[in-house]
Amino acid sequence: MSLSIKQLLENKGIKPREEHLEILEGRRKGMAELRGDLSGVAIDDADIGMRNIPGGDHVE
């Protein structure tokens, strides 16, 4: 059985207000939905890298 957000916070000594719990629960559900979409993706296809090239965008 998994703990609720309220239980997790109270275990850490944090007493959240009800309106904050609703916001946190909505965010948790959103993250769970996003995480579920990555289950069938090949890791090589999901790996993205960004570089900063000083001096602007150019290709040699």
Tell me the one-letter amino acid at 42: A
7 by DSSP, 3-state: which?
A: helix
- The domain tally of the chain equals 1
Residue 29 is part of which domain span? 1-36
Indicate the Cα dihedral angle 36, 41, 45, 51, nearest 10°. Answer: 10
**pLDDT single digits (tens) 11-60:** 999 988 889 988 988 888 888 887 776 667 777 766 667 776 677 666 66
Looking at residue 8, its pLDDT comes to 86
Tell me the one-letter amino acid at 19: E
User: Rounded distance, CA 21 to CA 23, Å?
Assistant: 5
Q: Is residue 55 part of a domain?
A: no
Q: Is residue 23 part of a domain?
A: yes
Q: Is residue 8 part of a domain?
A: yes
Place of tokens 């993205």: 48
Looking at residue 32, its pLDDT comes to 80
Looking at residue 13, its pLDDT comes to 93
